[in-house]
């Protein structure tokens, strides 16, 4: 019997390059998974323990509806693994437009804020919970020409650290993972001449998330965990 039997994990961005690996890892561990993306179906993952719940987390009401639907389906939420995010940039600060700035803040920060506001009261009422969010190496080691992305991911680390501080009294842990460049289809397409075997493998990041939700991860909270692979 797995320790994840009867545990309910809500995964945002469940269908993306990393999200797919995270969802598969939790299903393989035995968890029941509510998987959310803007467009997602039950058939995207062949498991009776998976339920697809589409949502746009940049909208607060949609985040609340996602949490309500998850609880209606599974009766509880033991863990939130927030994978959803986006990437845009390529220009210095003085050439970065409002559209890029707002997009990164909405996808990488506002969405997390919205889903945290919706899920934390449920966890506090239960007296336990695990929160894991995927940030980025650029949150602590900014890259040039990515000001909006860097800043949004750094703010996400601060948000999750704040959640850890505010909710330790309720048995809730909250941590971020800081991956370097990951071996996803999108990254392979954008860097066709690179060697993706040297990048961070998505299944390894999924393994870190699974560990943080497991019993063994119970003492880790408020951490920002680097996952840089060979590019240290």
Q: Is the pLDDT of residue 90 over 90?
A: yes
Range 48-61 average pLDDT: 98
Q: Return the pLDDT at 183.
A: 81
Range 32-45 average pLDDT: 96
Which residue intervals of 127-201 are DSSP H helices? 147-167, 185-190
- Enter the pTM of the model: 0.96
Element containing residue 100 per DSSP (H, E): helix 98-105
Q: Return the pLDDT at 194.
A: 84
Q: Which two tokens stand for residue 185?
A: 């289809």
Q: Return the pLDDT at 190.
A: 80
Q: What is the DSSP letter of 107?
A: I
For residue 196, give every residue at least 6 positions away whose Cβ sits within 8 Å of its Cβ, in sequence order, or none. 183, 187, 188
DSSP of 198-217, one letter per residue? GSBPHHHHHHHHHHHHSGGG
Write down all domains in the chain, each with its CATH number in brackets: 8-227 (3.40.50.720)
The residue that leads in pLDDT, 35 or 183, is 35
């Amino acid at each position: 019997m797995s320790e994840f039997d009867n545990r309910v994990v809500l995964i945002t961005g469940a269908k993306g390059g990393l999200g797919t690996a995270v969802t598969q890892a939790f299903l393989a561990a035995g968890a029941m998974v509510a998987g959310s993306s803007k467009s997602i179906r039950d058939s995207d993952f062949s498991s009776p323990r998976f339920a697809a719940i589409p949502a746009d987390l940049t909208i607060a009401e949609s985040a609340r509806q996602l949490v309500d639907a998850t609880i209606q389906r599974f009766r509880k939420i033991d863990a939130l693994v927030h994978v959803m995010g986006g990437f845009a940039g390529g220009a210095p600060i003085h050439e970065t437009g409002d559209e890029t700035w707002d997009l990164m803040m909405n996808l990488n920060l506002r969405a997390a804020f919205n889903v945290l506001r919706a899920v934390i009261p449920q966890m506090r009422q239960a007296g336990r919970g695990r929160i894991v969010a995927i940030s980025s190496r650029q949150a602590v080691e900014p890259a040039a020409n990515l000001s909006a992305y860097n800043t949004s991911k750094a703010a996400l680390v601060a948000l999750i650290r704040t959640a850890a501080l505010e909710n330790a009294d309720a048995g809730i842990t909250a941590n971020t993972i800081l991956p370097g460049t990951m071996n996803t289809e999108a990254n392979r397409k954008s860097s066709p001449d690179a060697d993706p075997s040297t990048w961070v493998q998505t299944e390894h990041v999924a393994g870190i998330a699974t560990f943080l939700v497991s019993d063994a991860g119970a003492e880790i909270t408020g951490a920002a965990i680097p996952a840089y692979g060979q590019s240290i």
